[in-house]
Amino acid sequence: METLTRFMCKVNTTKSFWNGKFRESCGMDAYDGYNVTPTYIRHMVPHNRDSVSALLSLTEASNHFYKRGYWQTASYLKSQIEAVIGVLPIVKETSPGIGWHTYQKSFSFDRWSRKLHRYEVHTYVASPVYKNDRISGWPALMKFFLRKARQVKSDDPIDEKHLIRSPRSGTSSMKRRWTTPY
């Protein structure tokens, strides 16, 4: 705490722990060096596909429960989600497709794409919902440089329509399409 305050950082002493084995930092709870952060179920299971954020959240929660060894809980959530949107494939954590994660180094695939020379799976992919938001002049130049600064790789594509539309905050849609399972 002394080191942090010396560098002009504020420490909330009512919420900070430095005695004992419990630690909390940046959204992670730990006890004696082990991650004990709980997994939360933030949504009820929806009755239709229109509740995209709930379905995405529950799918992620099921995958978290699976990774932590709560296989029956993960299986129950999986059955509830698949009752709403149908069977989902096994995908790797890096896949843009929505699906189930596994400890095995395997994934589902439905076809081989001759054009792209890769395995593909037909599943849902979350995509943002856009709103019209046309800008020009100095604001457009600033938006370009801010996006360029956030690019991970220099060849990452920039949305060609980024000056006439922007993603609506907190909304997304699920579209079924062919994508890579890895």
pLDDT digits (tens, 9 = 90+) for 145-178: 887 787 766 666 667 788 888 888 778 889 999 9
Distance of alpha carbon 179 from alpha carbon 121, whole angstroms = 6
Kindly give, in sequence order, each residue whose CB lies less than 8 Å from that of residue 77, ignoring residues fewer than 6 positions away: 41, 45, 58, 59, 61, 62, 65
Domain-wise residue ranges, the chain: 1-37
In the block, tokens 């790797």 appear at 92
Q: Are strands 34-35 and 22-25 parallel, antiparallel or unpaired?
A: unpaired
pLDDT digits (tens, 9 = 90+) for 63-83: 999 999 999 999 999 999 999
The answer to whether the predicted template modeling score (pTM) of the entire model surpasses 0.75 is: no
